Amino acid sequence: MHWNGKDSAVFQAQKEYIDTAVIPLIVIDGSEHGFGFAASAADYTLSLANLIENQFKGRIVLFPSFSYTTGQDKQSLLEIWKEELLKADFKYIFFITSDREWSTMGDEHDVIWTPSVPLDSMDQKMRNSVLEDQLRQLIPIFAKKWAN
């Protein structure tokens, strides 16, 4: 499900089945050397998030991305998001990112970190196959959480 009016009506009606929120984490970097990399990583993360939504349409709600700048205290901002989403009865909350800073501290916050792949130079077919490969690796992570 997407975060829109039509899907939210389905969500309200099917809460027992749709119990997972997915939020992409996007870092905004204004510095000269980080700008391009952060933009490319954002493109990758959002494409991957859309593919995840397509795969698990009936169980997850894909939220708009949570963007933060390099200087912000992202961990406490994350907790605020979580608190809000728990109000909507989500049992599982996943964050997905390719911001390197989460790679070491992600586990306790349910952040799934995947290294970003530069998609800009690829044609559509190549993009799809790279993203499909990534998705195949993510499916067990979701399945494991759901099984508990």
Partner 1 sequence: MSNNKVSRRQFLSYTLTGVGGFMAAGMLMPMVRFAIDPVLQKSEGGDFVLTEKKIADITDVPERVDFTFEQVDAWYKSDITNAAWVYKEGDQIIALSPVCKHLGCTVNWEGDPAHKNQFFCPCHNGRYEKNGENVPKTPPLGPLDQFEIRENDGFLEIGKAIPNTLV
Query: Where do contacts with partner 1 occur on this chain (CB under 8 A)?
Result: 10, 14, 17-18, 54-59, 124, 128, 139, 142-143
Q: Which is nearer to partner 1, 53 or 101 (CB)?
A: 53
**Contact yes or no for 131/48 (Cβ under 8 A):** yes
Nearer to partner 1, 103 or 134 (CB): 134
CB 69, CB 27: distance < 8 Å: yes
Q: Within a 10 A sphere around the Cβ of 40, how many other Cβ atoms?
A: 17
Q: Which is nearer to partner 1, 33 or 144 (CB)?
A: 144
In the complex, the smallest distance separating the C-beta of residue 57 from partner 1, rounded to whole angstroms, is 4
Contacts of 8 (CB under 8 A, 6+ apart): 1, 61
- Least distance to partner 1, CB of residue 5, Å: 16
The minimum distance between CB 83 and partner 1, in angstroms, equals 26
Q: For residues 87 and 144, which CB has a smaller minimum distance to partner 1 in the complex? A: 144
CB-based contact 45:94 (threshold 8 Å): no
Q: How far apart are CA 46 and CA 59, in angstroms?
A: 18
